[in-house]
Amino acid sequence: MEERHWFEDVADHLGEAYLRYSFTKGTDQEVGFLVEELGLASGMRVLDVGCGPGRHAHALARSGIEVVGVDISERFVDLARRDAPPGATFVRGDARTLDYQGEFDAVISLCQGAFGLSDGPGSPVDPDGSVLEGMARALRPGRRLALSAFSAYFAVSHIEGTNTFDADRGVHHEVFEVRDEEGRTAEHPAWTTCFTPRELRLMIAAAGLDLLALWSTEPGDYARRPPDLDHPEFLVIARRPA
């Protein structure tokens, strides 16, 4: 990781204030839904790609599941390690260069934790394809992954203020204000790649995975809901062939 990723500045400023934002309050609902969809049970191993401060990893570990969390932000990895329950470990790493090989019973990447945040100034073509391929390699044959991706439909219909949407790359750019632990504000740019269901299906197939489900969701409200125009995220469930 020779070049600093733009998200690291955001994470450094946010720190543990990240966990005060409303979109982080649905962790238990999300984890409960995914435990069922991914067929998880105590003793299994999960890779959390773009784990942030570890909220999903902590919840999974408390149910007896072993979790390895990976995040590009050293600040977030330090926070995730603090008060981590037994079975949850965290490493700093770039999701675009994952080197795990068939080690996990499930892989997750949620809330644009890595998949969807890989684009930005100077990014290579299709950085999220690299993230997905690494996730696929990390799975044991026959096991499943879950990832959330920002909806291009929702992004285009909710552009406001100075936000822009790059129709060529499918990237939503915004400058947003965030508060740190002491309430101090700062403005940071963000680049979020957005997807259509068709594009996600093609990417899943290109990564050698079988698509099991594709739903419209939002944080804290994971449900088996057909793709629509009204929810900000798509949730993909896929399986590595046995």
In the chain the first and final C-alpha atoms are separated, in Å, by 33
The residue behind tokens 């995220």 is: 233
Domains of the chain: 6-151+195-239 (3.40.50.150)
Strand-pairing partners, residue 233, are 150, 217
pLDDT at residue 113, rounded to an integer: 75
Q: Which residues of the chain have pLDDT under 50?
A: 1, 125
Instruction: Give the C-alpha separation, 152 to 125, whole Å.
Output: 18
Instruction: Give the C-alpha separation, 94 to 1, whole Å.
Output: 7
pLDDT at residue 18, rounded to an integer: 74
pLDDT at residue 66, rounded to an integer: 98
Q: Give which of 95, 59, 61, 112 is closest to 234, Cα–Cα.
A: 112
pLDDT at residue 121, rounded to an integer: 55
Helices 27-37 + 55-62 axis angle, to 10: 60
pTM: 0.90
pLDDT tens per residue across span 81-129: 999 999 999 999 999 899 999 999 999 999 877 887 766 555 554 567 8
Contacts of 226 (CB under 8 A, 6+ apart): 215, 216
- The DSSP string of 82-145 is TTPPTTEEEEE--GGG----S-EEEEEE-TTSSTTSS-STTPPS-HHHHHHHHHHHHEEEEEEE
Structure tokens at 200: 């996600």
pLDDT at residue 126, rounded to an integer: 57
